[in-house]
Structure 1
């Protein structure tokens, strides 16, 4: 193993890409351990027909010290590219280490497909177009066993970790400790988001959606949305103008701090219908003066929250109610206890089956 690592590090200095024989017209390449090699590999994959798979060097941290183009650390992905990290030993890392601000990956256009497997994306820093770690504009972005961490979307932009207006799929991953100066501290999805077996934790947004800002469509399954914070609404999840489902998920310890704000755990707004099935909303907080709905806030007429076989408990708000705040929309409870919230459980008289 030591000999293999020595050879990999020596070869890295050559900054070349070693091609593997194609199988079923699916091009494959090994990317040696340097930022130049990774940039070359993506450029070549964009130019080649058909899908391309890039295998990262075992244990390598690809450190980006300057942008490749504009505010992007790597060439913009415009074709079908899969980047595969090491399955054994230390996970591959792709990170920014520079005084210059730039994100790590950018995906652009309807024919662009980027799949990331078994790696970490960290320390990206975007400009006003958002997506501190990864930006997806109209393409398809898939993350399998990926950690997106410690990225920043600055200049009043959204999506500290990820900004996506296309199809976003996240499996068995973590979106953690990212920051946005607008919405979506962890991620902002303005297309469709399908997220499973994933932890969204420790993210912050100056405005709404500390964990995630989801618009268009959301399917969240077997996941954890924990310990995120927003300056306005939706400490964990801000669901806006969508039809979405949250299933077998824990929403815990999320916080909002702005005055007269709502939805420490979940905010449902903009004509959304959100269904929570077998989901626990626990110990979230609305801490601003006049804040309501420490657990869940349903913003207004046209907004619907359906809770089935779930629970809303031990949430806190500065003003009543602490559990579920319903502001003229529809909230239905099926086999869902709403208990031990402070100062009260629900908006009085407007949620059938909820008592204070």
Structure 2
């Protein structure tokens, strides 16, 4: 055999060896052609295959889902470990509902279900049963978003989580959750498991009830993010923290609106035994707009709730009734190097908060 033939033979043998290794199987990848049929087929095959599987979307493709794959869902339910990655070249990949029929885009179900989305847009989903207009993760499933836009999804008929509904582990990084809507709670995100959110913008979401941007139960670690211009029909225009232990760090909470009466909480409402710590966080120009609305910036609503603010600020918030800055209704609020100022009509009064004057 000449040298050229020997090199070719050796290369072929090496290629065969690489494909056969367990490591290669663990990194199985498939390219998904630009059609809803191809995407559904790829997910079905990945569910059935052992080990993690990565689906690479066709460059520049918008995957228009014109009918549900199964009741309530545009794509096959995720039951294994699947990563779906959009193209980094050219136009951003979009997966969207394009149908008069209501269905969400993704559903993740089961203890072995893990969905990771990278560099793509999920939009126009609609759920008329259960939560999660765009994405639902339930029954022990895990959901991770990296550089993902979740936008213009709807959870209707009493559902929660217009954009995202998660009961398990939720990780959101470098993403945008925008202009989603819920006819109940949580216009943007509803999480009742563990939520870790970083470098993410949650904006323009609305809830007919509470939690315009984000409703969290369980645990929250929110860092380096923006929660802006969200709205609720009752309480918590920006963030509703409910029976959780949470931290918010290096984050802007601005321009959120709550339209309910009483202790509404334009920026944040903390309730039901929650402990929430804000570090280097700005609560600015939020509103509780009804005449009897209170806590334009923060409402710590009820005994057993704790809000700790450190190296933060609460300013230029508005409420229809006292106070415009921070309402503390029988719980505990502590301020460390945190000015509360220029709120209307008062900063904290009639709440009793050490270090906070009118």
- Who is 1:157 aligned against? 159
Q: Deviations over 1:186-215 (max 9, x none)?
A: 010011100000000000001110000000
Q: Deviations over 1:213-258 (max 9, x none)?
A: 0000000000000000001111000000000000000000000112
Structure 1 Cα separation of the partners of residues 123 and 290 of structure 2: 31
Whether the 8 Å CA contact 1:125–1:151 is kept in 2: the answer is yes
Q: Deviations over 1:285-318 (max 9, x none)?
A: 0001300000000011100000000000000000
Whether the 8 Å CA contact 2:72–2:129 is kept in 1: the answer is no
- Who is 2:266 aligned against? 264
Structure 1 Cα separation of the partners of residues 42 and 158 of structure 2: 33
State the 1:261 CA deviation. 4.3
Residues 1:148 and 2:150 aligned together: yes
Structure 2 Cα separation of the partners of residues 25 and 81 of structure 1: 11
Whether the 8 Å CA contact 1:83–1:116 is kept in 2: the answer is yes
State the 1:262 CA deviation. 1.4
Equivalence map 1:108-147=2 (5 Å):
108-137=109-138, 138-147=140-149
- Who is 1:13 aligned against? none
Q: Secondary structure at the match of 1:39?
A: helix
Whether the 8 Å CA contact 2:349–2:357 is kept in 1: the answer is no
Which consecutive unaligned segments of at least 5 residues does structure 2 have?
1-17
- Who is 1:317 aligned against? 319
Equivalent residue in structure 2 for 1:278, among 277, 280, 283: 280
State the 1:21 CA deviation. 5.5
Structure 1 Cα separation of the partners of residues 351 and 103 of structure 2: 51
Structure 2 Cα separation of the partners of residues 25 and 93 of structure 1: 26
Whether the 8 Å CA contact 1:258–1:289 is kept in 2: the answer is no
State the 1:25 CA deviation. 2.7
Q: Deviations over 1:11-37 (max 9, x none)?
A: xxxxxxxxx957253211000000000
Structure 2 Cα separation of the partners of residues 88 and 42 of structure 1: 23
Q: Secondary structure at the match of 2:266?
A: coil
Structure 2 Cα separation of the partners of residues 349 and 89 of structure 1: 54
Which consecutive unaligned segments of at least 5 residues does structure 1 have?
1-19
Q: CA 1:36/1:274 → structure 2, altered by over 3 Å: closer, same or farther?
A: same
Residues 1:329 and 2:331 aligned together: yes
Q: Secondary structure at the match of 1:320?
A: coil
Structure 1 Cα separation of the partners of residues 271 and 126 of structure 2: 29
Equivalent residue pairs, number:
337
- Who is 1:97 aligned against? 98
Q: Using structure 2 for the length normalisation, give the TM-score.
A: 0.93
Equivalent residue in structure 2 for 1:166, among 165, 168, 176: 168
Q: CA 1:34/1:225 → structure 2, altered by over 3 Å: closer, same or farther?
A: same
Whether the 8 Å CA contact 1:232–1:261 is kept in 2: the answer is no
Q: Secondary structure at the match of 1:43?
A: helix
Whether the 8 Å CA contact 1:130–1:153 is kept in 2: the answer is yes
Q: Deviations over 1:15-64 (max 9, x none)?
A: xxxxx957253211000000000000000000000000000000000000
- Who is 1:180 aligned against? 182
- Give the aligned CA root-mean-square deviation in angstroms: 1.1
State the 1:130 CA deviation. 1.2
- Who is 2:12 aligned against? none
Q: Using structure 1 for the length normalisation, give the TM-score.
A: 0.93
Whether the 8 Å CA contact 1:21–1:27 is kept in 2: the answer is no
State the 1:128 CA deviation. 2.5
- Who is 1:228 aligned against? 230
Structure 1 Cα separation of the partners of residues 56 and 217 of structure 2: 33
- Who is 1:207 aligned against? 209
Q: CA 1:21/1:178 → structure 2, altered by over 3 Å: closer, same or farther?
A: farther
Structure 2 Cα separation of the partners of residues 94 and 324 of structure 1: 41
- Who is 2:341 aligned against? 339
State the 1:129 CA deviation. 0.5
Which 4+ stretches in 1 moved above 6 angstroms? none
